[in-house]
Structure 1
Amino acid sequence: MLNYFLKRLMGLVPTLLIVAVLVFLFVHMLPGDPARLAAGQEADDKTVAMVRAQLGLDQPLPKQFVSFFGHMLQGDFGTSIRSRRPVSTEIAERFGPTLMLTITSMVWSVIFGMGIGIVSAVYRNRWPDRLGMTLAVSGISFPAFALGMLLMQVFSVQLGWLPTVGAATWKHYILPSLTLGAAVAAVMARFTRASFVEVIQEDFVRTARAKGVNERGVILKHTLRNALIPVVTMMGLQFGFLLGGSIVVEAVFNWPGLGRLLVDSVQMRDYPVIQTLVLLFSLEFILINLVVDVLYGYINPTIRYK
């Protein structure tokens, strides 16, 4: 297991290098001139050229990439064109709210998603199963931005119970986390049900019932652990999705997180921030997949990596 873990860590380097090249090329293909946006629409051509030289955008693309990658290896991700602050500072200030929102959304979505999936599997083809899968399909089908605006209209505008924007108190987390976690809970419910239905028909489950083990023991002790492998896989992927893909929800609720920062950076063609954020999101997915693979060995001891 340790050798497998170290090999996967070593594999981060070429993966991130490829991602860095692709992101650098993609960012520089975006329409618009960052120097013009930084200097202002009223600036003359001489001022724009001066700003472009200060930002290093007058250099050939290969030289710009070598400079960016060299500084990145030293922990220097550059300076934001929009705020003139270090990119690492910008991201560090926004990472906390996004992480807390992701954890909050993931906790409730896993609890309710797995709960609905287990109940649907145990009572499959009966009314609890039909009700649970109807809720799951509805959660997947309903767009996040529409759900967010609906929740804001009901609980903020009409009832006045919850705030709409900001991240100052625990009340600010309720509506964004419900909006962000709805689709994840639906996916978890469907995957949990499918995995349980498959495992609950295995011979060892019938043997446990024949030995007189009560139904709760069969479900929690024998079925749950064996059904968790595909669920854990989806859980890890969904956590990475929430951490890096909450752009729409953060835009709807004006959440001071990484998603909102990425939207603002794209609008201002803030190349250093965009490149660093995409690399960060890629690193998050790689590390989360690695953690999920390692967890396999603890959930099912029969799995071995060679």
Structure 2
Amino acid sequence: MLYVLRRVLAAVFVMWAAFTVTFIILYLVPGDPALLIVGGDGGVQATPEELAAVRAEYGFDQPVIVQYFQALGGVLTGNLGMSYQMRQPVTELIGAQFGSTFALAMFALVVAVVAGLVIGGAAVYTKSRILSQLLDSLPPIGASLPTFWVGLVLMQVFCFQLGWFPSAGDRGFDSLVLPGITMAIPGAASIAQVFAKSLRASSRDDYVTVATAKGASRMRVFIGHAARNALLPTITVAGMIVAGLFAYSAITESIFSRAGLGMALDNAVQAKDIPMVSGIVLVIAAVFVVTNLIVDLVYPIIDPRLRRPGASKAVRLQRGLVEA
């Protein structure tokens, strides 16, 4: 019960911190949102009286601390406010864009997990030293490649030269492939590195030696013992990647002209649309919180030792989380 309470309080803190930091950063960004609300993107000249009326309507004339608590109060009651730029409720705008980004992020996650496990597992399982070194070199390369560069290269080759996939828009599964691979490469690199390292550590444990001595095949020992325990820290990394996919979708969606939360966030930041930015950041923070909760629930299924009421800190360290 105490563990659940701590997780809930941590989730609440993460959501509050995400909202507060976003509000402060946007408040410090130069620019007057009242100008956008009055003039829009057409460059309409607003009179001082019109600007004053807008500032009074939206509370821009109030001290920043008052604006903060008004915005926070709206969030606590489920009201994320009106978008300054689109003049629509933020909840409706986010709801319209969430599905596209969610599909892209989940596709990228599947690609990242499968590619990371295959590369990391093959690097440890193979008996060829050259092949093992080659596979071990792939994750650092993948992690160092700029996302925008990868996206442009994939677009040039597979869209413009080969014509296999569409270069822009959301036209079903075909439109997911290239942006999904673009987003998946950094995550796959992280998963491969962690999984390979954990596999090598698990392969040296006593239970692997015992299983081998009892006559178990190399494949059975590798999958049933070493790989199963190596998945614990790997799942932690995969959980962290999920929120990152939503956060980094802005670059990929911009490259492939794909509507979603990422592109909406990019546009809202440029327009200093505080309610829209805060709403999207809260959604990303909520994804992070929910994902970590799911990861916590999956751990005991993989490692039965975590089901014990007095699970030791050493066991929790093995899963990749250090709890105070």
Q: Is TM > 0.5 for Structure 1 vs Structure 2? A: yes
Separation (CA, whole Å) in 1 of partners of 2:127 and 2:140: 16
| 1:166 paired residue among 161, 169, 186 | 169
Separation (CA, whole Å) in 1 of partners of 2:15 and 2:234: 27
2:8 paired residue number: 9
Alpha-carbon shift at residue 84 of structure 1 (Å):
0.6
* Number of corresponding residues: 305
| 1:90 paired residue among 90, 93, 98 | 93
Alpha-carbon shift at residue 124 of structure 1 (Å):
6.4
Write out aligned runs for 1:30-69 (5 A).
30-40=29-39, 41=43, 42-69=45-72
Alpha-carbon shift at residue 102 of structure 1 (Å):
0.7
Q: Give deviations 1:75-104, integer Å, cap 9, x for gaps.
A: 111000111110001111111111110110
Alpha-carbon shift at residue 34 of structure 1 (Å):
0.7
Question: Contact 1:4/1:305 (CA < 8 Å) preserved in 2?
Answer: no
Q: State the secondary structure of the residue aligned to 1:288.
A: helix
Between the aligned residues of both structures, percent identity stands at 34
2:315 paired residue number: none
Q: Give deviations 1:3-53, integer Å, cap 9, x for gaps.
A: 522431133334433433332222111111111122223223222222222
2:282 paired residue number: 279
Aligned residue type for 2:75: M
Question: Contact 2:268/2:277 (CA < 8 Å) preserved in 1?
Answer: yes
Q: Give deviations 1:137-192, integer Å, cap 9, x for gaps.
A: 22111111000001111111122221111112111001100100011111111111
Q: State the secondary structure of the residue aligned to 1:302.
A: helix
| 2:303 paired residue among 283, 300, 304 | 300
Structure with higher RCO (Cα < 8 A, 6+ apart): 1
Separation (CA, whole Å) in 2 of partners of 1:194 and 1:302: 22
Separation (CA, whole Å) in 2 of partners of 1:261 and 1:290: 27
| Structure 2, unaligned runs of 5 or more | 311-324
Separation (CA, whole Å) in 1 of partners of 2:268 and 2:246: 18
Aligned residue type for 1:254: S
Question: Contact 2:243/2:287 (CA < 8 Å) preserved in 1?
Answer: yes
2:218 paired residue number: 215
2:181 paired residue number: 178
Relative distance call for 1:89 and 1:124 in structure 2 (3 A) is: farther
| 2:262 paired residue among 245, 259, 264 | 259
- Normalized against structure 1, the TM-score is what? 0.94
Q: State the secondary structure of the residue aligned to 2:305.
A: coil
Q: State the secondary structure of the residue aligned to 1:27.
A: helix
1:133 paired residue number: 136
Question: Contact 1:27/1:275 (CA < 8 Å) preserved in 2?
Answer: no
Alpha-carbon shift at residue 118 of structure 1 (Å):
0.7
Question: Contact 2:82/2:90 (CA < 8 Å) preserved in 1?
Answer: yes
Separation (CA, whole Å) in 2 of partners of 1:22 and 1:130: 42
Q: State the secondary structure of the residue aligned to 1:11.
A: helix
| Structure 1, unaligned runs of 5 or more | none
Alpha-carbon shift at residue 218 of structure 1 (Å):
0.6
Aligned residue type for 2:290: L
- Normalized against structure 2, the TM-score is what? 0.89
Q: Which runs of 4+ in 1 moved over 4 A?
A: none
Separation (CA, whole Å) in 1 of partners of 2:277 and 2:127: 46
| 2:247 paired residue among 244, 247, 254 | 244
Give the aligned CA root-mean-square deviation in angstroms: 1.7
Question: Contact 1:5/1:290 (CA < 8 Å) preserved in 2?
Answer: no
Separation (CA, whole Å) in 1 of partners of 2:293 and 2:46: 49
Separation (CA, whole Å) in 1 of partners of 2:195 and 2:64: 48
Question: Contact 1:77/1:276 (CA < 8 Å) preserved in 2?
Answer: yes
Farther-moved stretch of structure 1 (25-34 vs 58-67)? 58-67
Farther-moved stretch of structure 1 (285-294 vs 209-218)? 285-294
Alpha-carbon shift at residue 56 of structure 1 (Å):
2.0
Alpha-carbon shift at residue 245 of structure 1 (Å):
2.5
Question: Contact 2:212/2:218 (CA < 8 Å) preserved in 1?
Answer: yes
Separation (CA, whole Å) in 1 of partners of 2:212 and 2:16: 53
| 2:292 paired residue among 289, 293, 297 | 289
